[in-house]
Amino acid sequence: MSNASSWLVTSLDELDRIAAILGWERCDNVRNPAEIAASGTVDTSGRMFLFECGRRDWRFAQPKVQAAISAGTTVYFFTNEEHAMASTAELWENGQQVWKVAHESEQGIYHLATLGNLPAAFESIRQRRFEEQEHEGSEDADLDVIIRIPLDLAQELTGFDDDQLSGFDEEVEPPATEIYLVQRKRPNLLQRVFGRKKETE
């Protein structure tokens, strides 16, 4: 994974609705990789892992977008900003935020903001990473271990480990489907004219 990433995890059934909300469309034949707005995979259980591409103002991290995407369903949202030593993990259900864990090193090496009813795995992950940070030299350490806490939750809850080359734990079955989403193109003048003409025929 790159040192800056934003992704969500939800059912493949939500793909078309998410694309419509964000003004994207699926493209099976991408000629220019720079046009890709998001890419993803689907595991054999039908769970979709969708990653934003080519931007840093992550749309998956915007509360209004999160509320719209999670309307009527359950969605995990994650970010990893290694250049800023910041990361987040969130769960949204039916348009509402259920919980969030966030780390920003600029607010202190041990900074960890939490909200809501956190998953059962959180406390053991927090304790382990805090102990590692102490072992590395606490606040004087060159290494920020606390950034891994939201990302450890991502691995625990979804099986995706952004710190591995493959991305997925060995226990998780390999992805079954590749997904590419691009910005929906507006019809040009001729397409609009002929489109209206066809409608009136």
Q: What letter does residue 154 receive in the DSSP assignment?
A: H
How high is the pLDDT of residue 2?
Answer: 45
Q: For a pLDDT cut of 90, what percent of the chain falls above it? A: 59
For position 83, what pLDDT does the model report?
Answer: 80
pLDDT band at 58 (very low <50, low <70, confident <90, very high): very high
Q: Which residue has the tokens 């993990």?
A: 89
In this prediction, residues 30-38 reach a mean pLDDT of 86
Segment (H or E) for 105: none
Please report which residue ranges of the chain form alpha helices under DSSP H. Answer: 15-22, 63-69, 122-136, 148-158, 189-200
**pLDDT for res 28:** 83
Beta bridge partners of 86: 81, 104
The residues spanned by each domain of the chain are 4-200
Give residue-wise pLDDT tens across range 143-197: 889 999 999 999 999 998 876 544 544 444 545 568 999 988 765 455 445 555 4
Sorted by sequence, the CB contacts under 8 Å of residue 20 that are 6+ apart come out as none
What mean pLDDT is reported for the chain? 85
Between the two ends of the chain, the Cα-to-Cα distance in Å is: 51
Facing residues of 167 across strands? none
Locate tokens 């892992």: which residue? 49
Torsional sign, CA 43, 48, 54, 57 = negative
Q: Do 65 and 21 touch, CB atoms closer than 8 A?
A: yes
What integer pLDDT is reported at residue 3 of this predicted model? 72
Which pLDDT tens digit goes with each residue over 107-150? 998 999 999 999 999 999 999 999 999 998 888 777 889 999 99
Higher pLDDT, 60 or 54: 60
Bridge partner residues of 81 (DSSP):
4, 86
Strand (E) or helix (H) holding 47: strand 47-52
Confidence at residue 184, expressed as pLDDT on a 0 to 100 scale: 84
- Say whether pLDDT at 200 is over 50: no
Residue type, 116: G
